[in-house]
Amino acid sequence: MTPDSVILRCKQCGAKNRVPKQRLNDRPICGKCRAPLPPEPIFDQPVVVTDQTFQQEVLDFSGPVLLDCWAPWCGPCQMVAPLLIQLAKEFAGRAKIAKLNVDQNPITAGRYHVMSIPTMLLFKNGQLVNSIAGALSKNEMDRHLRGLV
């Protein structure tokens, strides 16, 4: 996918449609069923998630989400942070990269049994698909995300 286009999933038939970013305001339609495509926001930066926003940002999101469970004092978490920014740009329009500070949001961290950090939680259509503890390389995170897109 080129950085100047996004993938929008049709709510009616489920087809994935590649749309140039400059055409998003032109009310694009699905190439398969001709239904109007939903104007999904494009996430090209990691989204900060809290206990209060977790449902909306992760579980209600219609596509894949990589949720980084981290803490500010964690060295490996700090090493992973720039990689998440890169992935957010590369997967903009196809997946959401999100960050959850476990110290400030113990309810969500406890709900998903986050025992060590960093932990990457992978969701697809609101369902937990995988949980990976430890700092991952960009290639490993990319591979896991590509499996969900």
What are the residue numbers of the active site? 74, 77
Residue 138 phi/psi, 5-degree rounding, is -60, -40
C-beta separation of 86 from 45 below 8 A: no
Q: How far apart are alpha carbons 72 and 63 in whole angstroms?
A: 27
Query: Taking Cα atoms as reference points, which of 50, 144, 30, 44 lies closest to residue 100?
Result: 50
Residue 18 phi/psi, 5-degree rounding, is -85, 125
End-to-end CA, the chain: 12
Classify residue 139 as exposed, middle or buried by CB count within 10 Å of its CB (0-12, 13-18, 19+).
exposed
